[in-house]
Amino acid sequence: MQPLYLIGEQQHAVTPLKRNDRIWLEIDGHAVDVQFTELGPHRGEIIVNGHLKSYHVAQEGQTLFVHCAGKTWRLEAKDEFEASRSSEAGAGEIRAPMPGVLVESFASTGDRVEAGQTVLLIESMKLQTEIKATVSGVISVADLAAGEAFEKGALLTVIEADSEGESVVQTDADSSAMNSEDKR
């Protein structure tokens, strides 16, 4: 079974490869040259395909929160069985990935949203993170107000999925941000 990871809401197959005495990652069938340098317990530098970036990381259980190139990603190891169960149950529920505060809501109860659309902006550990719709549909629960605090796992919003219940398919915008900023 190939290792699967959730990065945000998108699932990726990741396999380490050895080429010319270096470690590469095969991510969804594409080889990526990745090198890490640890600069402290929660920070370091990463070189992705020759582009150097600084990063900060926090861990909570099996989940890593990585802040790099002005964005924050949630990385979580999954197995195929767990991934299929979680995509079937509660696909329209958006829960807090970590404790924080709601900075801004971009959709209210009754609003129509598309999968991948930013619906909330939260702040955790002094980092702001966009929360995107996991399915296309209509917001049925949006009870948090700006400035309101929440705990990890708290229900932030619920989207009543369209009949297809199509899950989010994000573009490479997140990964291209890592490849286009902070060249050294």
The amino acid at residue 3 is: P
75 and 7 in contact (C-beta within 8 Å)? yes
pLDDT of 57-89, one tens digit each? Answer: 888 777 788 888 888 888 887 654 444 334 444
User: What residue ranges do the domains of the chain occupy?
Assistant: 4-79, 92-161
CATH architecture designation of domain 92-161 = Beta Barrel (2.40)
> How high is the pLDDT of residue 152?
83
> How high is the pLDDT of residue 34?
84
Least confident range from 44-58, 107-121, 150-164: namely 150-164
> How high is the pLDDT of residue 2?
61
Residue found under tokens 């296309």: 136
Measured CA to CA, the distance from residue 23 to residue 182 in angstroms comes to 22
pLDDT of 102-139, one tens digit each? Answer: 999 999 999 999 988 999 999 887 788 888 888 899 99
Which has more pLDDT, 149 or 1?
149
- Please give the average per-residue pLDDT across 154-173, as a whole number: 62
> How high is the pLDDT of residue 90?
52
- Please give the average per-residue pLDDT across 147-167, as a whole number: 80
Separation in Å, CA 145 to CA 46, 122, 132, 154, 160: 36, 11, 17, 14, 20
Q: Does the structure show a pLDDT above 50 at 32?
A: yes
Q: What is the CATH number of domain 4-79?
A: 3.30.700.30
pTM check: above 0.85: no
Q: Does the structure show a pLDDT above 90 at 179?
A: no
pLDDT of 13-23, one tens digit each? Answer: 888 777 776 77
Q: How confident is the model at residue 91 (pLDDT cuts 50, 70, 90)?
A: low
> How high is the pLDDT of residue 74?
83
Q: Average model confidence (pLDDT) for the chain?
A: 77
Beta strands in 41-154 (DSSP E): 43-48, 51-60, 63-68, 71-78, 93-95, 100-105, 112-113, 118-124, 127-132, 137-141, 149-150
